[in-house]
Amino acid sequence: MIETLAEEELVEIVAVVDINGDAPGLHQVKGMGIPTFTDVETALISSAPCVAFNLTGNEMVEEVAAAILGVGAVVGGLEARLIHRMVTDLKEAKNELQYQATHDVLTGLMNRRFMVEKLLQEIDRCKRYNVSCAVVMMDLDHFKSVNDERGHAVGDRALKVVSSSIANQIRGADSLARWGGEEFLLLLPHADKPIATQVAEKCLVSLRDAPIEDAVNGNFFTSFSAGVACINELDLSLPAADVLDDLLAIADKRLYAAKARGRACVVADIMPASN
C-alpha cells in the first residue's frame, strides 16, 4: 500500500505510524524519507491536516484519528481496502499501457518508437561525454519465403525464436528492438565497431542452435544479414536527430552489402558512397 501510494503524483505521504517500532514497514518508509511514529496521537497531531488511512482494521484507531482530524478525514476498513485495490488496479493498467506503447506485441522487444528515443538519448550522451556507441541492423534472410511457403504462423514463430536467441547473446547494457517486419536493431553503448561486430557475429552463430518448429514441413534454421555502424564515424557537431539518420543510413547500406556478399554475415567495413 505504501509503495503504491508513494508513486502517485497526487498523493503525499506525510507520516506512517506503527506501534511496533521494529515493524519492517517502518524501516521501509524510513528509507523513502517518510517520517515515522510509534504513537498514533503524536503522529496525527504532527501531521495534521491530513487524511488518515487506517490499515489495521482496529476501530479504536479510527476513533482516535476521528477525534483529532474529524470524521471525514479518516478512511479505514472496507473503504481503505477498496481504495487500495483501485489504486493498485490503476497502477497495473498504467504500467500495461506503458508497456504496450513501448514494446512489440509479438516478440516482447522494444518497438521502433521506443528505440528511437533510446538512440537519441545515447547520441546525446556520447556527444556530452565523448564516448562511443554502435548499432547493428539485422535483417532475416529469405524471410519472405518462410511466410510464403510455411505460413505466417511459422514466420511469427521464427521472429520469436530469433528475438529470444539474440537477446540471450547481447550485453546487459545493450538494447534490442524489432525495427520493423523481419528487421531488428541493436544499440550497444560504450562500443566501437570491433566490439559491435563481435557481438553481432555471436548472435548470428547462436541461430545455428535455435531450431524453428514447423510440424508440417519440418523444423528449420534461419540466419540474418547485418550492418554495423559506429558513432565515431560521424560528424557529432550535427544535431542528434541528424547524427541518428546518418548512423542508421550507414548501418542500412552495410546490411545490404552483407546481403550482396551472400547473406548470413556481418559487414562493418564498407563506407556508403557519398551522394
Catalytic residues: 182
Helix (H, G, I), strand (E, B) or coil at 136: strand
Report how far residue 103's alpha carbon sits from residue 16's, in angstroms, rounded to the nearest whole number: 37
Report how far residue 206's alpha carbon sits from residue 68's, in angstroms, rounded to the nearest whole number: 67
Q: Which residues contact 4 (CB under 8 A, 6 or more apart)?
A: 84, 87, 88, 91
Q: What is the DSSP string of 53-113?
A: EE-S--HHHHHHHHHHH-GGGEEEHHHHHHHHHHHHHHHHHHHHHHHHHHB-TTT-SB-HH
Report how far residue 97's alpha carbon sits from residue 34's, in angstroms, rounded to the nearest whole number: 29
For residue 85, the one-letter residue type is R
Rounded to a whole number, what is the distance in angstroms from the first to the last CA of the chain? 60
- Phi and psi angles of residue 139, each rounded to the nearest 5 degrees, phi first: -130, 125
Q: Which sign, positive or negative, has the C-alpha torsion 247, 248, 254, 257?
A: negative
3-state secondary structure 215-253: CCCCCECCCEEEEEEEHHHCCCCCCHHHHHHHHHHHHHH
